Amino acid sequence: MALITWNESLATGIPVVALGNGIPATPFPVDAVLSDFTQGLTEAVEALGALGHRRFAFLSALAEGQNDGGRPRLFRELLNARGVTSNCIAELRCGHSVASARDTFAAFLQQHSAHRPTALVAVNDLSAIGAMRAARDAGLEVPRDLSIVGVDDVPLGAYLPVALSSIRQRYRKITRTATEMLLARIEHPDDPALGKPRQVVFPTLFVRRESVGTAPAS
């Protein structure tokens, strides 16, 4: 399958709908359906704060050259606004595999055993699962010693030995809306109402399960 750039799409008139995570600083030049992590991450931060958590980690799983999409910055800003200082927020980066997440967090726990975080938010559920394994290997119990939150709410997460709390994207609404937008472009190419690129944004939501609990006593 050939890949085309934005400019090629616009020049040839090929209908394109972009799917994205987060709201870009510069709007897409084509129709786009986006997930806004602000609501779901805010709900997660508020839930963890209400449970007494004051030391946090954010685990980003990134491919080489991939941008983090601003979620670590948003996480830090939400915590700072609630009185959690930046020196109590660790930002970690790992690869896309579960093993990379496990190894990265395991090394972090070894280096910070005296002042480790009591809550971790991972950029996706697979990274959260890797972090759960690293915590167990370090002798920690989730959520007694460490609360963990993932992102995406994959079906597997609800069936783990410790059901994973996660920030859910509205996949059904996203895919349905993207399909409708694409079909509209294909079936009504001359509709003046479709002249400008459209952008639809769906909020995320926090789904709390067994992996989140009260912060351990200091």
pLDDT of residue 26: 83
pLDDT of residue 167: 96
Q: Does domain 38-168 have CATH number 3.40.50.300?
A: no
pLDDT of residue 201: 93
Cα separation of 31 and 186, whole Å? 13
Which regions in the chain score pLDDT beneath 50?
1-3
Strand order in the sheet with 56-61: 89-94, 56-61, 119-122, 147-151, 165-168, 205-207
pLDDT of residue 218: 62
Cα separation of 119 and 134, whole Å? 14
Q: What is the pTM of this model?
A: 0.86
pLDDT of residue 10: 55
- Numbered ranges of CATH 3.40.50.2300 in the chain: 38-168
Cα separation of 146 and 165, whole Å? 12
